[in-house]
A and B are shown apart, each in its own frame.
Chain A
């Protein structure tokens, strides 16, 4: 009984020691609060528009007829496209593209209207700069639609002249139409699509770094033995005492982004907030445990932090929220399971975005729980390192 109480007091003492350490250096405040907060605000305000609108494009109108001007006016009316300049030739427009003034241009050749009227099939072209993938794809969609409409408008005038009703004309021009339903993100909002994973990703990266740093710096400053002694020479008590205060701070930061994204910005949260808060807690704990594994395998501050940086930065790409995992090399598809952010992303998709029951993402919850088991494999190595390792720059 007494021993048990001793353990709790030891844990309490280590926690108090850690809290003192946390407030002793502004570095911790920066990494645990300021940096994540900055990123929350940065990403959500950067993509605040949701979907880019009025992307600058150019027009090369060599026809200069009523028809061609009508075409360009219609193109300009699309929400994603904004015609900002007229050029006299394709090479001028291409040069403007290389200067970065426009993301694409619409080319109307000479004799468009006369050729169309005399049934000689003129040809429009549009050029999109796909070096800027998002801008290029959005413009492609609008311009392709315009190309279809241009040809449709010409046929439609013939049909109207023959006495067809609008309904009949449309049924003739487009017998099959595609009706799209982007489930749960009907606005195609990029902020919803990216921020929901970018924001927790930054928090995860900082957790990796801070966990590794706070343990590694004890070895460096030769305070590791004192820390262990305070935790009754038990690595479990020492680690728990050290990491629990971090857990509290990071979890508060996690709750904050949940409230910010789903409560304030009203991103889709079809499952209710509770599963997401749970997923956030699991992400925080899993990331902390990953940090322990990192410093446990490489008990040198520099290598541990390098490992954390590598794993943390790669997480953003390999979790597949921008470029899907299914399109990656099979080796990477397997590797992606070793990143907590990947599982968090899948949970978010199932829960907040699609509102499925938690049972559908059980494998990902399990995976996050398994991350929490992993430190047991390295704690002995870590303890040895804490006692015997000498810091090497």
Chain B
């Protein structure tokens, strides 16, 4: 007897689950606001960010020159600096004051100063200095200036050394200038590009933020349309916690399975970003990320009372969340408090794991910490979602009962007066 009851209950639950799933699916696609967040933003934002950072690196940073040496050596030095891809000499100034004035007028972002005794010192075998003055409004200007000048000075140092040594063979020259050679290998982002470093993190973050916004918006709408400003409608299908949470979750998941395919696979291809991850590592990793994000968004949506407030509450978090993930500001230098704070958000693990799999070709076992953390988050946020929805069901029942009692009382009063 009891067994049949349980079986019936499960059958009913599954039935309701799909009813809720269908209904949520329909509201998603009939609500323009949700569609903006679920479709339009994930579609457009990656393209916009890709467009902003598409040049990857800063080339030809304009710089001024003050050449007090006026010798063939100093001119050779400057010619070589100008020939590097990083720096472009825009003006030869007669003194530092003129160069500083140009800096103020934003004609250039740096000054290369060559002292009067530059080539004399080289000829006399005394160390000489080239001074760089860089505008610090952007660190990339400084980096370009430094890279170009370092490269040129090392190159010229080598030539000067060879000249002084008077070796007889080329091999001798090589060995005496660099008794120990070195090479640098820039891994996983060989061009040192800005897009290749930032865009993957932005892509993952977009998934979480649009889910927060979309789910929050539909929760706010549900409340506004509800008589008692409750999240859960009065409907016989909305009887159990599990069926609501799973039904809604399933419908979001289906939308986001498609959206994340576009965001995580198509967009990097469009902008020729790094994409060396294996699909059988990437897909199993994205699965818990989406689950964690969906349940996180559903839990957070409880705070949303009105349709539009989700934007006010969630949009600004994108900037701190990007920084706390440890992509731009190195994770190793994030203070302990913020590190633990960042574990609240699926994006922290999502970004780190995705960047390592997609950009660095890591396998699932290499990102096992993030992978496990995401499953754990998915579990925890599933429970919190169930808990808040349970609470909401109770609240909405309470409101109905109160209303019922109120009406009944009225009825009794009217009966008596009659």
Residue ranges of A at the interface with B (Cβ–Cβ < 8 Å): 27, 30-31, 35, 38-39, 42-43, 45-49, 52-56, 94-95, 97-100, 103-104, 112, 116, 119-137, 140, 143-144, 147-148, 150-151, 154-155, 158, 167-168, 170-185, 188, 190, 193, 198, 201-202, 205-206, 209-210, 213, 216-217, 220, 301-302, 305-306, 308-309, 312-314, 316-318, 320-324, 326-329, 332, 345, 349-350, 353-354, 356, 360, 393
Q: Across the interface, name the chain B residue whose C-beta is closest to A331.
A: B51
B182 to A313, Cβ gap below 8 A? Answer: no
Is B71 an interface residue, CB under 8 A from the partner? no
Given A193-B139, A317-B49, verify A179-B332 contact (CB < 8 Å): no
B333 to A137, Cβ gap below 8 A? Answer: no
Given A128-B184, A360-B105, verify A55-B332 contact (CB < 8 Å): yes
26 pairs of residues in contact across A and B, judged by CB atoms under 8 Å = A27-B312, A54-B332, A55-B332, A55-B333, A98-B356, A104-B187, A125-B182, A130-B192, A131-B356, A134-B329, A135-B332, A144-B182, A151-B178, A171-B127, A174-B157, A177-B153, A179-B131, A190-B329, A193-B138, A209-B316, A213-B312, A302-B32, A313-B319, A322-B328, A332-B51, A393-B307
Bound CA–CA A320/B194 (angstroms) = 12
Given A97-B187, A98-B360, A313-B318, verify A178-B55 contact (CB < 8 Å): no
Within 8 A of A (CB), among B354-374: 355-356, 359-363, 366-367
Q: In the assembled complex, how far is the CB of residue B39 from the closest CB belonging to chain A, in whole angstroms?
A: 13
Q: Across the interface, name the chain A residue whose C-beta is closest to B36.
A: A306
B187 to A130, Cβ gap below 8 A? Answer: yes
Q: In the assembled complex, how far is the CB of residue A12 from the closest CB belonging to chain B, in whole angstroms?
A: 28
Contacts of B189 in A (CB 8 A): 129-131, 133, 136
Q: In the assembled complex, how far is the CB of residue B395 from the closest CB belonging to chain A, in whole angstroms?
A: 19
B137 to A353, Cβ gap below 8 A? Answer: yes
Contacts of A112 in B (CB 8 A): 180
Contacts of B194 in A (CB 8 A): 133, 323
Is B38 an interface residue, CB under 8 A from the partner? no
Bound CA–CA A305/B306 (angstroms) = 13
Q: In the assembled complex, how far is the CB of residue A107 from the closest CB belonging to chain B, in whole angstroms?
A: 9
Choose one: A55, A126, A154, A179; the contact of B132 (CB below 8 Å). A179
Bound CA–CA A349/B360 (angstroms) = 36
- Interface stretch among B3-11, B143-151, B260-268? B143-151
Q: Residue-by-residue, is B174-197 near A (CB-CB < 8 Å gives 1, otherwise 0)?
A: 111011111111111110101011
Given contact pairs A131-B355, A183-B133, A316-B319, enumerate 16 new A-B contacts (beta carbons under 8 Å).
Answer: A52-B329, A97-B360, A100-B367, A125-B182, A130-B188, A137-B192, A150-B180, A151-B178, A175-B157, A176-B128, A190-B139, A201-B319, A309-B311, A312-B316, A354-B135, A393-B31
Choose one: A56, A94, A116, A126; the contact of B184 (CB below 8 Å). A126
Q: In the assembled complex, how far is the CB of residue B311 from the closest CB belonging to chain A, in whole angstroms?
A: 5
A123 to B180, Cβ gap below 8 A? Answer: yes
Q: Residue-by-residue, is B187-227 near A (CB-CB < 8 Å gives 1, otherwise 0)?
A: 11110101011101000000000000000000001001000
Q: Across the interface, name the chain B residue whose C-beta is closest to A213.
A: B312
A45 to B338, Cβ gap below 8 A? Answer: yes
Q: Residue-by-residue, is B105-122 near A (CB-CB < 8 Å gives 1, otherwise 0)?
A: 100000000000000001
Given A99-B362, A147-B182, A323-B140, verify A178-B149 contact (CB < 8 Å): yes
A302 to B307, Cβ gap below 8 A? Answer: yes
Q: In the assembled complex, how far is the CB of residue B140 from the closest CB belonging to chain A, in whole angstroms?
A: 6
Choose one: A137, A181, A345; the contact of B143 (CB below 8 Å). A137
B355 to A353, Cβ gap below 8 A? Answer: no
B366 to A305, Cβ gap below 8 A? Answer: no
Bound CA–CA A104/B319 (angstroms) = 27
A179 to B130, Cβ gap below 8 A? Answer: yes
Contacts of B77 in A (CB 8 A): 176
Given A127-B185, A184-B136, A193-B139, verify A172-B221 contact (CB < 8 Å): no
Given A133-B192, A302-B307, verify A174-B136 contact (CB < 8 Å): no
Is B394 an interface residue, CB under 8 A from the partner? no
Q: In the assembled complex, how far is the CB of residue B226 from the closest CB belonging to chain A, in whole angstroms?
A: 13
Bound CA–CA A314/B133 (angstroms) = 31
A98 to B142, Cβ gap below 8 A? Answer: no
Q: Across the interface, name the chain A residue whose C-beta is closest to B133.
A: A181
Is B104 an interface residue, CB under 8 A from the partner? yes
Q: In the assembled complex, how far is the CB of residue B233 from the closest CB belonging to chain A, in whole angstroms?
A: 16
Contacts of B49 in A (CB 8 A): 317
A-B contact count (CB 8 A): 331
Looking at B52, B125, B132, B179, which has the most chain A CB atoms within 10 Å of its CB? B179
Residue ranges of B at the interface with A (Cβ–Cβ < 8 Å): 31-33, 36, 48-49, 51-55, 57-59, 61-62, 77, 104-105, 122, 125-143, 146, 149-150, 153-154, 156-157, 160-161, 164, 174-176, 178-190, 192, 194, 196-198, 200, 221, 224, 274, 307-309, 311-313, 315-316, 318-320, 323-324, 326-335, 337-338, 352, 355-356, 359-363, 366-367
Bound CA–CA A230/B418 (angstroms) = 46
Q: In the assembled complex, how far is the CB of residue A130 from the closest CB belonging to chain B, in whole angstroms?
A: 4
Bound CA–CA A359/B327 (angstroms) = 38
Q: In the assembled complex, how far is the CB of residue B130 from the closest CB belonging to chain A, in whole angstroms?
A: 6
Choose one: B136, B224, B313; the contact of A183 (CB below 8 Å). B136
Choose one: A56, A131, A147, A302; the contact of B33 (CB below 8 Å). A302
Given A116-B180, A123-B182, A176-B156, verify A202-B332 contact (CB < 8 Å): no
Q: In the assembled complex, how far is the CB of residue B194 from the closest CB belonging to chain A, in whole angstroms?
A: 5
A123 to B181, Cβ gap below 8 A? Answer: yes
Contacts of B128 in A (CB 8 A): 175-177
Q: In the assembled complex, how far is the CB of residue B222 from the closest CB belonging to chain A, in whole angstroms?
A: 11
Contacts of B184 in A (CB 8 A): 125-128, 140, 143-144, 147
Q: In the assembled complex, how far is the CB of residue A360 from the closest CB belonging to chain B, in whole angstroms?
A: 5
Contacts of A182 in B (CB 8 A): 134, 136, 142
Choose one: B48, B53, B129; the contact of A314 (CB below 8 Å). B48
Q: Across the interface, name the chain A residue whose C-beta is closest to B155.
A: A176
Contacts of B134 in A (CB 8 A): 180-183
Choose one: B125, B136, B338; the contact of A42 (CB below 8 Å). B338
A100 to B132, Cβ gap below 8 A? Answer: no
Q: Across the interface, name the chain B residue whose C-beta is closest to A268.
A: B136
Choose one: B105, B142, B335; the contact of A48 (CB below 8 Å). B335
Choose one: A132, A306, A317, A321; the contact of B327 (CB below 8 Å). A132
Contacts of B192 in A (CB 8 A): 130, 133, 136-137
Q: Across the interface, name the chain A residue whose C-beta is closest to B365.
A: A99
Contacts of A154 in B (CB 8 A): 179-180
Bound CA–CA A126/B126 (angstroms) = 31
A324 to B58, Cβ gap below 8 A? Answer: yes
B180 to A327, Cβ gap below 8 A? Answer: no
Contacts of A42 in B (CB 8 A): 320, 324, 338
Contacts of B125 in A (CB 8 A): 168, 171-172, 175
Choose one: B196, B197, B309; the contact of A27 (CB below 8 Å). B309
Q: Across the interface, name the chain A residue whose C-beta is closest to B53.
A: A323
A131 to B196, Cβ gap below 8 A? Answer: yes
Contacts of A178 in B (CB 8 A): 129-130, 132, 146, 149-150, 153
What 4 A-B pairs have minimum CB-CB distances, sorted nearest first? Answer: A147-B182, A130-B189, A98-B362, A52-B333
